[in-house]
Amino acid sequence: MKKRKKKRGLSPISSRKLGTVPVRIGHGFDVHRLEPGDGVVLGGVPIACPYRVVAHSDGDVLIHALCDALLGAAALGDIGRWFPDTDARWRGADSRALLREVVRKLAAAGWRAGNVDLTLIAQVPRVAPHVAAMQRALAQDLGIGVDAVGVKATTSEGLGFTGRKEGIAAHAVALLRR
């Protein structure tokens, strides 16, 4: 008599079934170098400070991490795939325009943002006075309420490249809804 192998654990969910799940989650991360300058753009908000971000676009790490979280949740690749830094069209690009384009791509795939949560890791500049403006800008581009846009900032206690003010970093998570 043939011995039947006992199945263990849960059966894998098929991608067809996964397509019917009404929510998705995604994570994004970005880093940019800092150098002496006259200001940065973070979360869509220009901030005057003695630094600038070295980047092909406006170097908005918060929005770049957010775009990757949104695209990742929909399994639509990443920001580098859609807006390559080898393409002159994106030189000095306003990252808010990239974010709105990502929102359009999500909509075409049947998704919209539920809530998002962002964390900036930066020794400089001080962003606390600008958080509310960032929430408003991002909420507008995402088409959601400001109460669904978390923006937080932390230093790295002087440690590492962010602590040495050589660069800034950002993490983002995003929930998508059908």
Cβ at position 170, least distance to Mg ion in Å: 9
**Distance from the Cα of residue 102 to its chain's centroid:** 11
Interface with Mg ion: number of residues (CB under 5 A): 2
Pattern 89-128, Mg ion, x by CB under 5 A: ----------------------------------------
Select 30 or 114, whichever has its Cβ closest to Mg ion: 30
CB of 30 to Mg ion, least distance (A): 4
CB-based burial, 108-118: b 16+ in 10 Å, e otherwise = eeebebbbbbb
Stretch that binds Mg ion, among 30-38, 100-108, 134-142, 160-168 (CB under 5 A): 30-38
CB nearer Mg ion, residue 64 or residue 96: 64
What is the 8-class DSSP label of residue 44? T
171 counts as binding Mg ion under rule CB under 5 A: no
Kindly indicate which of the ranges 24-32, 45-53, 99-107, 155-163 contains the residues binding Mg ion, using the contact rule CB under 5 A. Answer: 24-32
Minimum distance from CB of 55 to Mg ion (Å)? 6
DSSP secondary structure letters along 51-79: EEEE-SS---HHHHHHHHHHHHHTT---H
Choose, by CB under 5 A, the member of 30, 58, 68, 141 that binds Mg ion: 30
What region, left, alpha or beta, does residue 53 occupy, with left being phi > 0 and alpha being psi -120 to 50 degrees?
beta
Both tokens of 94, joined, read 């306003």
CB count, 10 Å around CB of 119?
17
- Give the separation between CA 3 and CA 43, rounded to whole angstroms: 60
Contact pick of 64, 96, 130, 171 for Mg ion (by CB under 5 A): 64
Given the rule CB under 5 A, which residues bind Mg ion? Answer: 30, 64
